[in-house]
Structure 1
């Protein structure tokens, strides 16, 4: 009996003690905890409505605006190569020679046949002198044509022109002015007709072909400005402009955009380069990109409340240019947004602004 009474007494004491502790904890004001936490030092900025440059980044390779193949026009042995890769040539300049002995023999033969035909022509003219002196113009014309065909003079003249053309084809000439690239054959090689000897690149005007997301294409138009950064000199931007937009989207959802470069100094076709195309957006609500943090996959911006507390705001964001980002919904214009120490910040946390 005494032991049971003692255990009952301890149980009553413990119940009243818990109720008293619970009452005491409820009487402590929640603000006292906030006052005990040190204020987080933050920097701030203003959500401004202004013009905003959306930057479209893309990479690609530099190309010569004109790339023309120099073709070998007749078969034979390559006798001489007169250029080296990288050499600048003018349009029509001889860049290689094919062995022309066979073509020279054919030309001599054509000349002999022409002389022979000319002699036969003279004999026939003497024989048909009366017909050639006829007052009937039609008779005179028919007689001349018959003499030309019968003597073989017409055919000999054509064969001479053909032999001269074949001899000229022993010279491989540059089809355009530019720099020689990708020479395919060496001296002494047996080459076929219409084989490619080399490429002639017009390097005074380069262009950059890049792939752009189809979602960004509405922001791009012809003659739009761009900055081009070659891999060989990534610190210095070259001026570029949009020249053409391919109207077809490829299987990866990308569209080819061609940019022209104002300067091609120290650049070569085939070099890699990065382009930044500027797409101005007017009347956008803009904040520094550092003002946006992500919680559970959603964009959040903390604003200043009452000059001393943080306020948690879910926002919808748009495009960004690496420094600033558009805010489509979630905070009003001219809000004071927190840009530092906001990764672990909580709602209604005490803050201290350390910049105006």
Structure 2
């Protein structure tokens, strides 16, 4: 084969191969675009027929009171910190966190050997002074009798009276010293000042109790209440003694409390007032737990539908609305708060809409 003919064939191949590739590419693009599929002419979907065995429901709005939830905390009105007035070693602690105590129960005992010795010493001093007082009193009485009989002089009577009064004063001082020693000894025994529950203890036997250092903390479970910072527009609508709903999510209960105190000064940062609401006793409540105050915030129009009138497609909610005798599917937004057997509608329906539900 001659060289010119070979060159012509090579040139033809260089042209045909890219052209063939281009044609294949165009065919694939047309196929992906649906050029070889059967075409459907545009038009409107026929309206859905009326549901068989259906029940119609006319939407009506109702006026209801609305409440604004305010985050709050459970606190104890009556709390106390147990601390020592003495610098002494802790001998015994009789309670732990969670224990129930009554007023007057011994909680902590401190070492008191030196204090007991002081009490005994003061008691003996009182006993000695009582003996001297008895003697001085008798001498004074005898001096008065002798003076009345003109046997003793005025000087003897005055001296007996002075000795008597001096010893009487010393006896009073000795009794006061004894009372002070007994009071100091009582500081070595720490008792519960209220009926309550032990929250925590901060020392162990053998530790040295410093004066004023907290050793135990107590609270009264009967004095629990709710405290919340309420924005000023709502807070100013509340009055002392007003009943208010309290939501307790942890124990899944709603109870009614009373507004006990409204602090008459706003927080300048949040423009809110501290509201304190007393609660009836609940065994499962503990200080620090979360609560919500449901404060009245006016009125609003609410729409409710039976639960069986709303159906779901994925995460979307729909209802069948009757329009011109035909049932049409309509998207609605529902509220998380429901009534028994009913669902609250936020948007998608208005007064007068007719909802069709299946029997």
Normalized against structure 2, the TM-score is what?
0.62
**Counterparts of 1:123 and 1:216, CA distance in 2:** 78
Matched, 1:175 2:190: no
**Counterparts of 1:218 and 1:45, CA distance in 2:** 36
**Structure 1 position 248, deviation (Å):** 1.1
Q: Which runs of 5+ in 1 are unaligned?
A: 1-35, 291-305, 309-319, 325-337, 346-350
Partner-residue secondary structure (3-state), 1:156: helix
1:73–1:172 CA contact under 8 A, matched in 2:
no
Partner-residue secondary structure (3-state), 1:252: coil
1:71-82 correspondence to structure 2 within 5 Å: 71-82=83-94
1:15-54 correspondence to structure 2 within 5 Å: 45-47=59-61, 50=63, 52-54=64-66
**Structure 1 position 86, deviation (Å):** 1.0
Deviations 1:152-205 (A, max 9, x none): 322221111112212222110001110112212111111123332212210123
1:209–1:257 CA contact under 8 A, matched in 2:
yes
**Structure 1 position 94, deviation (Å):** 0.7
2:109 corresponds to which of 97, 101, 115: 97
**Counterparts of 2:89 and 2:206, CA distance in 1:** 6
**Structure 1 position 354, deviation (Å):** 3.1
Q: Which residue does 1:106 correspond to in 2?
A: 118
Matched, 1:265 2:283: yes
Deviations 1:14-70 (A, max 9, x none): xxxxxxxxxxxxxxxxxxxxxx798899x974455x4x3130211122112211222
Normalized against structure 1, the TM-score is what?
0.63
Q: Which runs of 5+ in 2 are unaligned?
A: 1-43, 51-56, 149-153, 306-322, 326-334, 340-344
2:84–2:190 CA contact under 8 A, matched in 1:
yes
Number of corresponding residues: 267
Q: Which residue does 1:214 correspond to in 2?
A: 232
Q: Which residue does 2:68 correspond to in 1?
A: 56
Q: Which residue does 2:167 correspond to in 1?
A: 147
| Bigger mean CA deviation after superposition, 223-232 or 263-272 | 223-232
Partner-residue secondary structure (3-state), 1:70: strand
2:58–2:353 CA contact under 8 A, matched in 1:
no
1:166-315 correspondence to structure 2 within 5 Å: 166-233=184-251, 235-250=252-267, 251-278=269-296, 281=298, 286-288=301-303
**Counterparts of 1:232 and 1:323, CA distance in 2:** 20
Larger Rg: 2
CA RMSD of aligned residues (A): 4.0
Partner-residue secondary structure (3-state), 1:112: helix
Q: Which residue does 1:88 correspond to in 2?
A: 100
